[in-house]
Structure 1
């Protein structure tokens, strides 16, 4: 088989419950890797959480984490950070709109002030019991900025306040100091400027020498749009949001119906 780069989102794509991958999907990926494909998971999760999911079903998986701000290559880990200007803008906009932001390094969650219980629960739902993630509360923006060198990305949750999220997105984009995306309509993904999953995929294409037409990408959410556009073989899950299905070249079955496995099996058989 010619060399392929396979990149897949995790939640709503590889997994049905945020943690587990079906036997069929694991086998399809194992077959592709055994045949010479390079496989990456690409997620908004911090590296530690992405790694624990990927390694349980594909030991040879590499990681694109933090929506492209962090990725593995040739035994090294590449980092892009939000920076002080972006952190300050997020804190100011969040305070104005009564929203709460969480910030991530490879293995730690940071926040300022006190988190509402619903936001803390939303932040923890992606962490399996086998992984201990440090959660650090700091009293002020000034203290938050002392961690700027390790904070790669963040998220604002607003499950019951989409109007505030829309206003937050507009205000942050006007500041022009970071990239704002979303994995669902109930959050804002906070990413370093000029960075997203697509940026990581393109850098990996250049480093591996694998062309876009030999890059297969799977996704379901809004933060997968750029990654799909960077891949010659772009695949939306059956459960993907309409915007993703419009961009993708193919649509496969849903994440709970082994969509990734079905597509890979049929693609490589052909």
Structure 2
């Protein structure tokens, strides 16, 4: 089925989807220009586990329709910042960080979520944490989130904010993009995506990272993007 009519909303992961690891995760000027051209006619949101302060460095000058950051817990549209998490989370987060300290696990805290880099929890530790929060992995790293909050809930909230009811196209590469794929109309994997993302995708792009995004936007603009019908 071709996706040809009306405005679309592209929701894209950032690391290893929009920006190359070999480039230090700085988005290329070509990709910036292409996205800015695209948002003149459609919507493009960047959905990432990263913090806004880092996006302002790695993607300096890029102005998508919206940013859905810290794995869906914070949404930025223009000058507006929207918290997509219960206020009670911040008290729960204190308990989470206390448990991590007792486990001897190094972590850092964003505006909302807790990051654990390159550390696998034991089954017991993970079970204990999931009593009070959600834990999502992305290529070995972990993000600790409020219960029920993730990239999917962030996208749903963003669509409410934009009052958008058209087709949504999600593109990603890693494990924490699986939730995102559950709430989009067309699932797209960049060429360097992990197997589990490629398995659920309607389309696996030929190119990796930013080049894959350019390929996707070309398909959308040419009316050649299709969705599985089975």
TM-score range normalised by the length of the shorter chain:
0.7 to 0.9
Distance 1:9 1:49 in 2: 14
Q: Does 1:215 align with 2:219?
A: no
Q: How does 1:120-139 map to 2 (within 5 A)?
A: none
Distance 1:4 1:257 in 2: 19
Decide which structure has greater helix share.
1
Distance 2:45 2:9 in 1: 8
Q: Does 1:77 align with 2:81?
A: yes
Distance 2:95 2:56 in 1: 29
Q: Say if 1:157 and 1:94 are closer, same or farther in 2 by CA, change over 3 A.
A: farther
Residue 172 of structure 1 is matched in structure 2 by 129
Q: Give the match's secondary structure for 1:83.
A: helix
Tell me the TM-score normalised to structure 1 length.
Answer: 0.71
Distance 2:60 2:6 in 1: 24
Residue 101 of structure 1 is matched in structure 2 by 107
Determine which of 12, 15, 18 is the counterpart of 1:14: 18
Residue 63 of structure 2 is matched in structure 1 by 59
Q: Unaligned stretches of 5+ in structure 1?
A: 106-151
Deviation of residue 55 (structure 1)? Answer: 4.1
Residue 116 of structure 2 is matched in structure 1 by 156
Tell me the TM-score normalised to structure 2 length.
Answer: 0.82
Q: Say if 1:233 and 1:55 are closer, same or farther in 2 by CA, change over 3 A.
A: farther
| Deviation string, structure 1 residues 158-194 (Cα, Å, up to 9, x no partner) | 35xx3x3555333312x1x212101212x21111121
Q: Give the match's secondary structure for 1:230.
A: coil
Distance 1:261 1:208 in 2: 24
| Deviation string, structure 1 residues 213-240 (Cα, Å, up to 9, x no partner) | 6111111111111112211122111111
How many equivalent residue pairs? 214
Q: Give the match's secondary structure for 1:210.
A: coil
Q: Unaligned stretches of 5+ in structure 2?
A: 224-230
Distance 2:161 2:25 in 1: 30
Deviation of residue 251 (structure 1)? Answer: 1.1
Distance 1:166 1:51 in 2: 36
Distance 2:155 2:79 in 1: 17
| Deviation string, structure 1 residues 114-165 (Cα, Å, up to 9, x no partner) | xxxxxxxxxxxxxxxxxxxxxxxxxxxxxxxxxxxxxx00111235xx3x35
Q: Say if 1:220 and 1:55 are closer, same or farther in 2 by CA, change over 3 A.
A: same
| Deviation string, structure 1 residues 187-212 (Cα, Å, up to 9, x no partner) | 2111112111110101112232323x
Q: Say if 1:243 and 1:170 are closer, same or farther in 2 by CA, change over 3 A.
A: farther
Q: What's the Cα RMSD here?
A: 2.3
Q: Does 1:203 align with 2:152?
A: no
